[in-house]
């Protein structure tokens, strides 16, 4: 599962803002016409990780896990991979 998430992240962009970290896919026609597909983001104010529902369902199905198990695994991976810390 870690390898899957690592490979997934390698094809995405990570945006680090003051209060959030966003993992997204920028399907930009140009700099002024960006279309974002957000897959997950961490909100430092709320100390929460949001994961795109479709991505979560696909991940859970692929590995035969309940969504609750999947979200916990993704949270731990996200925190460790992006060096956020143990805010959970």
Q: Is the dihedral of CA 3, 7, 12, 18 positive or negative?
A: positive
Give per-residue pLDDT as tens, 2-42. Answer: 999 999 999 888 988 888 898 988 765 555 555 568 899 88
Q: What is the mean pLDDT of the chain?
A: 85
How is residue 77 annotated by DSSP? H
| pLDDT value at residue 2 | 97
Mean pLDDT for the stretch of residues 68-87: 84
3-state class (DSSP) for residue 83: coil
User: How many whole angstroms separate alpha carbon 69 and alpha carbon 21?
Assistant: 22
In this predicted model, which residue has the larger pLDDT, 25 or 57? 57
- Which residue in this structure is represented by tokens 């997204």? 24
Residue 88 lies in a domain: no
Q: Which of 8, 1, 7 is nearest to 52 (CA)?
A: 8
Q: Which domain holds residue 12?
A: 2-81
Residue 49 lies in a domain: yes
| pLDDT value at residue 36 | 66
Q: Over pLDDT 90: what percentage of the chain?
A: 45
Residue 87 lies in a domain: no
Residue 66 lies in a domain: yes
- The pTM of this model reads 0.81
Residue 37 lies in a domain: yes
How many domains does the chain divide into? 1
Residue 86 lies in a domain: no
3-state class (DSSP) for residue 26: strand
| pLDDT value at residue 88 | 37
Residue 22 lies in a domain: yes
């Amino acid at each position: 599962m870690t390898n899957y998430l690592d490979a997934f992240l390698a094809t995405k962009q990570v945006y680090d803002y003051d209060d959030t970290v966003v993992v997204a896919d920028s399907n930009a026609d140009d700099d002024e016409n960006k279309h974002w597909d957000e897959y997950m983001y961490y909100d430092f104010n709320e100390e929460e990780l949001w994961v795109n529902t479709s991505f979560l369902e696909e991940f859970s199905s692929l590995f035969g896990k309940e969504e609750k198990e999947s979200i916990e695994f993704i949270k731990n991976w996200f925190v460790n991979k992006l060096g956020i810390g143990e805010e959970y």
